[in-house]
């Protein structure tokens, strides 16, 4: 039973989707351009419940667990600072043998969310809670074991730091679902409810602020936007919105964070303009290789600064092609597909050609020759409309649009199973095994979940 001085709280559960930037890599860094983002049905789930204490015992502790992995537990204390510095969070060690490692995304999201909550409820103590994080299996390429044939989650016999991620945007989905769970749990419905557009706006702004702080830089934010809103045409916010936010604990942090979160951002999230036509689906293929995205981004932006006229021509062409991509998907979704998927295939080809030109001129392998060969081979499969190397490009993955029929997926799998990569690009990189990830598009963003989904994982 909770201390009588603290309010009662009802257990809550929230999930947020992963993402794929189908078109608009590099462009989303500039507010003059947009990116076409699809949410994925691979979700990060967060369940939160009270910590039960004996009558009269008061705790200031939040325990966070990732029960799918070994030793994945973080224990935090928290306190209100002077000078309007907000809530500071600090790690607690249960024993000298504790193997707890720092998790900046959890710690920062917790700090930002508790500070915002305390600014709305200044005279209400923050009760202790227990938080569990669960991820759908598509986030990891490691083999795992389900608790039961019907469980959507797997157990992995390794620490979280040893898990191999598949690049679906786990940090953004984590920060979004984690923040949403805290707001849903600690704030009354009059101040926050996930079904409210105003609450979604607050969640977006707070999650963006926390995610940027955890990354140590102000990113484009498309991954947080898709985690909150689902699939969308995204145009970034001005970095200046977050540039002068003090550090947690610094004088005035709480008031400044509240102003930023509740303020009007110049972000554009066009949810209604992005649709997936009935009969089509998105497929992601994991490539056993990898890219160094930050280095690629620096080189592309350096080329753009040094050859502005040529870069602006490519950027403008890509913007038109990306908008055409979204428009054609919308046209098909409205049933205006008299020519089938011919135009959609053409638009995908236009996007790819311009991406290759950007890569050639900047010296960055955005669509490397190995990926070109792979995409071209996939496009030859009957029912595959086309595909791209998503996001910043490189060797991480490819994404395909195809007719949503079992035989198309089966034929595609045959091509991928027999795929033999080479290092034709000259970078000494060889594509290894290529496999289909078990994900498809998800138009829905963050949402509340039924607690029964976590049976066996969470003691609710």
pLDDT value at position 183?
A: 98
pTM of structure: 0.92
The helix/strand/coil state of 229 is helix
pLDDT value at position 149?
A: 82
For the 12-272+445-454 domain, the top CATH level (class) is: alpha beta
Rg (CA), the chain: 23
pLDDT value at position 435?
A: 86
Among 302, 297, 289, 319, CA closest to 392: 297
Domain 280-436: CATH superfamily, name plus number: GHMP kinase, C-terminal domain (3.30.70.890)
The helix/strand/coil state of 444 is coil
* Contact present, 351 and 27 (Cβ < 8 Å): no
| pLDDT < 50 stretches in the chain | 1-6, 95-96
Among 194, 264, 160, 220, CA closest to 16: 194
Residue 278 sits at φ, ψ, to 5 deg, of -60, 135
pLDDT value at position 94?
A: 52
Query: What are 381's two structure tokens?
Result: 């499969």
The helix/strand/coil state of 399 is strand
Enumerate the domain spans of the chain. 12-272+445-454, 280-436
Beta-bridge partners for 399:
284, 388
Distance CA 358, CA 27 (A): 11
DSSP state of 140: B
218's CB contacts (< 8 A; 6+ apart) are 212, 239, 242, 243
Distance CA 363, CA 355 (A): 12
Among 51, 27, 50, 47, CA closest to 37: 27
Distance of CA 313 to the CA centre of its chain: 30
The helix/strand/coil state of 250 is coil
């Amino acid at each position: 039973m909770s201390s009588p001085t603290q309010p009662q709280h009802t257990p809550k559960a929230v999930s947020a989707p992963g993402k794929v930037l189908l078109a608009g890599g590099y462009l989303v860094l500039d507010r003059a351009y947009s990116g076409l983002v699809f949410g994925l049905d691979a979700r990060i789930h967060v369940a939160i419940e009270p910590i039960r204490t004996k009558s009269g015992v008061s705790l200031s502790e939040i325990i966070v667990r990732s029960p799918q992995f070994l030793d994945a537990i973080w224990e935090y204390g928290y306190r209100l600072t002077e000078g309007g510095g907000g809530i500071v969070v600090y790690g607690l060690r249960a024993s000298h043998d504790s193997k707890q490692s720092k998790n900046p995304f959890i710690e920062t999201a917790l700090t930002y969310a508790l500070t915002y909550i305390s600014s709305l409820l200044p005279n209400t103590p923050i009760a202790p809670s227990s938080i569990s994080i669960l991820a759908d299996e598509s986030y990891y390429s490691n083999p795992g074991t389900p608790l039961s044939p019907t469980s959507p989650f797997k157990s992995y016999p390794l620490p979280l730091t040893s898990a191999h991620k598949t690049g679906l945007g786990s940090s953004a989905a984590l920060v979004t679902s984690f923040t949403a769970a805290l707001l849903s749990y600690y704030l009354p419905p009059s101040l926050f409810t996930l079904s409210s557009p105003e609450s979604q706006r607050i969640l977006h702004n707070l999650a963006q602020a926390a995610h940027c702080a955890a990354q140590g830089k102000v990113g484009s934010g498309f991954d947080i936007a898709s985690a909150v809103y689902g699939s969308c045409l995204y145009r970034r916010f001005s970095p200046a919105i977050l540039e002068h936010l003090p550090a947690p604990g610094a004088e005035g942090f709480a008031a400044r964070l509240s102003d930023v979160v509740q303020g009007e951002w110049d972000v554009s999230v066009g949810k209604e303009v992005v649709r997936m036509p009935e009969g089509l689906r998105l497929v992601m293929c994991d490539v056993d290789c990898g890219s160094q995205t930050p280095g690629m981004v620096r080189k592309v932006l350096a080329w753009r600064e040094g050859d502005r006229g040529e870069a602006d021509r490519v950027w403008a062409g890509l913007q038109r092609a990306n908008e055409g991509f979204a428009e054609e998907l919308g046209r098909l979704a409205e049933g205006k597909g008299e020519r089938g998927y011919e135009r959609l295939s053409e638009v995908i080809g236009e996007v790819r050609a311009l991406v290759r030109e950007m890569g050639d001129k900047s010296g960055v392998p955005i669509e490397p020759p190995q990926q070109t060969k792979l995409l071209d081979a996939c496009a030859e499969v009957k029912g595959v409309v086309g595909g791209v190397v998503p996001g910043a490009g490189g060797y991480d993955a490819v994404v395909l649009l195809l007719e949503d029929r079992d035989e198309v997926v089966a034929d595609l799998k045959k091509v991928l199973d027999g795929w033999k990569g080479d290092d034709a690009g000259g970078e000494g990189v060889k594509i290894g095994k290529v496999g289909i990830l078990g994900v498809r598009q998800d138009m829905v963003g963050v949402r509340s979940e039924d607690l029964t989904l976590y049976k066996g994982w969470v003691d609710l």
